[in-house]
Amino acid sequence: MLKQISGHAKLDFPDECCGIILSDGEQDFLRQCTNIQNQLHLEDPSVYPRDARTAYQIDPKELLEICKESEAKSRPIKAFYHSHPNHHAYFSEKDKADATMWDEPLYPDASYIVIPVYGGNSEEQILGNIRVYTWDLNIGDYLESEIESSDG
């Protein structure tokens, strides 16, 4: 799964990629999504000053279909993933704010996976260490864990 999402991160570089991982407890199901941030930025730059290089929003129509699949096939959302082009992985204030609307995590059981991918102007992208953020009920915040990069 990490290989696939890393591949997605490289493919969408220099834009942030995004997606969802569902799980039925035995198997994980990857659902790559479309980052509509460029479209939002073009339509209304005053409301959306960032483009897809520094922000992401999952296409809500894809999100709807994935939520329907999640319900219909009993595959709860295990994680959301997105990449950071030319940035190390961290859970920014914006990431946290967008994940915790209405003062609570939107999906307390889902982790947030952040994949750093560096490329600059070269054609070859290199992955950094992936970090995973999981909501901890006891401390009321996201806890970080790290996975070493597969790109040496």
Partner 1 sequence: MSVIVRIPTPLRKLTQNKPEVEVSGKNIESLIDNLETNYPGIKERIYDEANNIRRFVNIYLNDEDIRFLEGKSTAVNDGDEVSIIPAIAGGILNSSQLGK
* Site residues (vs partner 1, CB under 8 A): 16, 18, 20, 37, 46-50, 54-58, 60-61, 63-64, 67, 71, 80, 82, 84, 87, 90, 92-95, 97-99, 101-102, 104-107, 112
SS3 label, residue 37: helix
Q: How far is the CB of 124 from partner 1 (least distance, A)?
A: 22
SS3 label, residue 104: coil
In this structure, how many other beta carbons lie within 10 angstroms of the beta carbon of residue 135? 20
**CA distance linking residue 17 with residue 8, whole number of Å:** 7
Q: Which is nearer to partner 1, 10 or 18 (CB)?
A: 18
Q: Which is nearer to partner 1, 2 or 67 (CB)?
A: 67
Q: How far is the CB of 57 from partner 1 (least distance, A)?
A: 4
In this structure, how many other beta carbons lie within 10 angstroms of the beta carbon of residue 39? 15
Q: Which is nearer to partner 1, 45 or 152 (CB)?
A: 45
Report DSSP state, residue 103. G
